[in-house]
């Protein structure tokens, strides 16, 4: 068991941990209140690339949660930071939503569909055969393929929806080129989260609902991990992985209960 009172920082996934779609999950208000009262450093580290920090802040506000913008870090921001370091001032053909476009723009990356350096794909309502064909041919002609995150599905109120890697897969298959994914479980994203919190890995906890992104990301960065059963992974799927979380709980509300024992 983890001594949550001794931990300085908490990195939490959002989808399946804090909410499903637009529905807040049980125990979330108590968990956030506890972190704020105990003056814990905390960051919501989400693989969703579609939203800006402001939009995420407003989404939680609509659910009655008061969380300021600096507590969010997305795969869109991780992708923009990666490209900024790899190729400052580069160009990219982008399939995505406002969160991804804004992050790339603020990082000084030029949007272009003519001989770009990169093709960048995130979750996108604008995804179509036309955009897919354009992306495929740009990669064939030399553009490097980037995926905002490697999630195959994402939980929604009435089931699951295809996520980023599922949208990138057709381009990979058509071109024979593999994408580089910037979001979880890429350790770069978790290490950035720790840096933003000002925490050493031993001082932090990673809370997530997915074994294949959240728990493996925390494990590979040496962070204690909490798998909550309010999202994708279950006790049955847990058995199929060679690595295991430090703790398994029903939801984030149980963190408060454990801390108050």
- pLDDT tens digits along 26-84: 999 999 999 999 999 999 999 989 999 999 999 999 999 999 999 999 999 999 999 99
Element (H, E) at 168: helix 164-175
Cis amide leading into 185 (omega within 30): yes
Say whether pLDDT at 154 is over 80.
no
- pLDDT for 151 equals 87
Give CA–CA dist 125/145, Å, rounded. Answer: 19
Determine contact, residues 254/10, Cβ cutoff 8 Å: no
Q: Which residues are catalytic?
A: 13, 15
- pLDDT for 21 equals 79
pLDDT tens digits, 26-42: 999 999 999 999 999 99
Beta-bridge partners for 227: 208, 248
Q: What proportion of the chain, given as a percentage, has pLDDT over 90?
A: 87
- pLDDT for 182 equals 96
Q: What proportion of the chain, given as a percentage, has pLDDT over 70?
A: 99
Say whether pLDDT at 183 is over 70.
yes
Give CA–CA dist 227/240, Å, rounded. Answer: 14
Average pLDDT over residues 215-241: 94
Determine contact, residues 57/87, Cβ cutoff 8 Å: no
What tokens does 17 get? 């941990």
- The pTM of this model reads 0.91
* Closest C-alpha among 135, 138, 116 to residue 126: 135
Average pLDDT over residues 221-247: 94
Sheet arrangement for strand 204-208 = 72-74, 41-46, 9-12, 204-208, 224-228, 247-249
Say whether pLDDT at 201 is over 90.
yes
Say whether pLDDT at 125 is over 90.
no
Give CA–CA dist 142/252, Å, rounded. Answer: 45
**List of residues 6+ apart from 94 with CB closer than 8 A:** 100, 101, 104, 111, 119, 120, 121, 122
In the chain the domains, ranked by start, together with CATH numbers, are 4-47+185-259 (3.40.50.1000), 76-181 (3.40.50.1000)
Give CA–CA dist 251/233, Å, rounded. Answer: 12
């Amino acid at each position: 068991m983890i001594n949550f009172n001794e931990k300085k920082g908490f990195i939490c996934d959002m989808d399946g941990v804090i909410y499903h779609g637009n529905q807040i999950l049980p125990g979330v208000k108590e968990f956030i209140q506890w972190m704020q009262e105990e003056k814990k450093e905390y960051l919501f580290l989400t693989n969703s690339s579609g939203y800006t920090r402001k939009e995420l802040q407003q989404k939680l506000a609509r659910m009655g949660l008061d969380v300021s913008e600096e507590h969010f870090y997305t795969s869109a921001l991780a992708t923009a930071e990666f490209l900024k370091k790899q190729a400052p001032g580069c160009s990219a053909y982008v399939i995505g939503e406002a969160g991804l476009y804004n992050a790339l723009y603020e990082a000084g990356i030029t949007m272009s569909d003519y001989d770009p350096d990169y093709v960048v794909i995130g979750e996108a309502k604008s995804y179509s055969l036309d955009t897919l064909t354009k992306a495929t041919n740009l990669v064939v002609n030399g553009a490097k393929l980037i995926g905002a995150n490697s999630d195959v599905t994402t939980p929604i109120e009435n089931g699951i929806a295809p996520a980023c890697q599922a949208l990138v897969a057709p381009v990979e298959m058509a071109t024979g080129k593999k994408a580089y994914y910037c979001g979880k479980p890429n350790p770069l994203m978790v290490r950035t989260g720790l840096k933003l919190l000002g925490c050493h890995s031993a001082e932090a906890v990673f809370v997530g609902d997915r074994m294949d992104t959240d728990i493996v990301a925390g494990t590979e960065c040496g962070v204690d991990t909490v798998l909550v059963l309010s999202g994708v992974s279950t006790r049955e799927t847990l058995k199929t992985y060679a690595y295991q979380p430090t703790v398994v709980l029903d939801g984030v509300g149980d963190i408060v209960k454990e801390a108050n024992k």
